[in-house]
């Protein structure tokens, strides 16, 4: 048998090696240096979106969620992250803002039960991403294209995992796609010219450490932590980083039968 035939037999059935995407040649002329006085955006980017709840006090110095903000809300299982975020979206929806909740952890039945217990949440438009597990990228990009004031993602870890499996890539590549997509809409590059704010829900490890990458942590404008008291139903919301707020403070909340109830910290809380 000739060497050519032997080679063909050995390679038969093998998958072709993955090719690396072409990298555009660096163009030094593309580098731009800006002063703050050179930057110009629509004045609406400085107008806060208010929920008319106590959350406004810690979301920004201007009281409310600022447009074009990329936020992470993290906490352990059962801390109340999803409930807190849905309450924010419901309040903003009631104020007339366009909001979208991207659910990667609940299906329609789970969300239906949730809304029966918390009726206010039923007003928030929701995208159940598990229905589009094989084409997540296309589904999310199409859904976002219309333009929203606020988009919440529950959770970053779930979206990254679905993307990684669907497109046979790494978690880093999936995370890069998600951050680039948020940057695009944060800049108002959508049909509604909305400077979208993103609220990203993320888990923490058993030791209380942030479960995402350092890049994800550093590319966001604010980092919010939700914790629950060991013996009780009281929760605490506090920012460890917030570029829109220069105040160091926190508020408390509890999840009642059919609503979220907020309260200011008392003297004992401030001493902790």
Read off the pLDDT of residues 138-159 as tens digits, 9 standing for 90 and up.
Answer: 999 999 999 999 999 999 999 9
Domains of the chain: which residue ranges? 63-271
pTM, rounded to two decimals: 0.87
- Under the banding of pLDDT at 50, 70 and 90, the label for residue 213 is confident
Whether 246 shows a pLDDT value over 90: the answer reads no
Q: Compute the C-alpha angle 189/191/195, nearest 5°.
A: 45
pLDDT tens-digit series, residues 66-75: 999 999 999 9
Q: What is the mean pLDDT of residues 67-87?
A: 94
Q: How far is CA 129 from the centre of its chain?
A: 14
Q: What is the mean pLDDT of residues 173-197?
A: 96
pLDDT for res 257: 85
Q: What is the mean pLDDT of residues 225-244?
A: 89
CA distances from 143 to 42, 100, 127, 129 (A): 24, 9, 8, 11
Torsion over CA: 8, 10, 16, 17 (sign): negative
pLDDT tens-digit series, residues 7-55: 444 445 554 444 455 667 888 988 999 998 998 889 999 999 999 999 9
Using DSSP, state whether 173 is helix, strand or coil.
helix
Max Cα distance, the chain (Å): 88
Q: Compute the C-alpha angle 178/143/138, nearest 5°.
A: 60
219 contacts 237 by C-beta, under 8 angstroms: no
Domain 63-271 has CATH 3.30.830.10: no
Q: How many CA atoms lie within 13 A of 114 on its CB side?
A: 20
């Amino acid at each position: 048998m000739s060497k050519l035939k032997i080679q063909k037999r050995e390679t038969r059935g093998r998958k072709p090696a993955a090719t690396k995407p072409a990298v555009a040649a660096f163009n030094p002329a593309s580098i731009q240096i800006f002063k703050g006085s050179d930057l110009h955006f629509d004045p609406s980017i400085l107008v806060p979106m208010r929920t008319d709840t106590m959350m406004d006090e810690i979301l920004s110095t201007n009281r409310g969620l600022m447009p074009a903000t990329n936020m992470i809300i993290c906490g352990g299982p059962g801390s109340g992250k999803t409930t807190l975020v849905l309450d924010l979206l419901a309040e903003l929806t009631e104020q007339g803002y366009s909001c979208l909740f991207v659910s990667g952890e609940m299906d329609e039945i789970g969300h239906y039960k949730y809304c029966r217990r918390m009726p206010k949440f039923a007003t928030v438009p929701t995208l159940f991403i598990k229905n589009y597990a094989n084409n997540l990228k296309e589904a999310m990009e199409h859904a976002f294209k219309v333009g929203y004031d606020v988009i919440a993602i529950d959770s970053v870890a779930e979206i990254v995992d679905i993307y990684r499996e669907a497109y046979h890539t790494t978690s880093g590549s999936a995370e890069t796609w998600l951050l680039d997509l948020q940057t695009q809409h944060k800049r108002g590059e959508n049909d509604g010219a909305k400077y979208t704010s993103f609220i990203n829900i993320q888990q923490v490890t058993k030791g209380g450490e942030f479960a995402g990458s350092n890049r994800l942590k550093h590319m966001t404008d604010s980092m919010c932590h939700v914790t629950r008291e060991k013996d009780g139903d009281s929760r605490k919301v506090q920012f460890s980083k917030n570029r829109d707020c220069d105040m160091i403070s926190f508020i408390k909340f509890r999840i009642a039968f059919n609503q979220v109830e907020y309260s200011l910290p008392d003297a004992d809380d401030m001493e902790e």
